[in-house]
Amino acid sequence: MNGVPMTWYLGLGLFLFTIGAVGVVIRRNPIVVFMSIELMLNAVNLTFLTFARYWGHTPASAVAGEMMVVFVMAVAAAEVAVGLGIIMAIYRLRDRADIDDLNVLRG
């Protein structure tokens, strides 16, 4: 990738994934947890694109990494749509949104 070593991209992906994992574990606000999950998914996308670029000796293998990125983005969009719906349902029931309130929706 234009003279930048692969380890720099992988290091950046690891750094972003670590920040996202710490955000999921430490924070109690569900919106912040969803943002942390999105950060982790973007770190995985960066890793997929890095490997697709550096190990993509054939056009088919380079496109495979890019197709995985599109798939991860579609899954992330669906996760946000469902997750925000659940958060809004909790907020309407309790007038506050907290991770501890997730057991409110049990049937």
Confidence bin at 88 (pLDDT 50/70/90): confident
Report the C-alpha gap between 72 and 69 in whole angstroms: 5
Report the C-alpha gap between 58 and 94 in whole angstroms: 54
Which whole number is the average pLDDT over 93-100? Answer: 74
Q: Which CATH number characterizes residue 56's domain?
A: 1.10.287.3510
Does residue 1 belong to any structural domain of this protein? no
Does residue 103 belong to any structural domain of this protein? no
Q: Can you give the pLDDT at residue 53?
A: 83
Does residue 55 belong to any structural domain of this protein? yes
Report the C-alpha gap between 44 and 81 in whole angstroms: 20
Confidence bin at 96 (pLDDT 50/70/90): confident
Domain count, the chain: 1
Does residue 21 belong to any structural domain of this protein? yes
Does residue 62 belong to any structural domain of this protein? yes
Among 21-25, 32-36, 48-52, 86-90, name the one with the lowest average pLDDT.
86-90
Does residue 105 belong to any structural domain of this protein? no
Specify the pTM: 0.80
Tokens of 21: 């994992």
CA atoms within 13 A on the CB side of 26: 8
Task: Check whether 58 has a pLDDT greater than 60.
Answer: yes
Domain that includes residue 91, residue range: 6-97
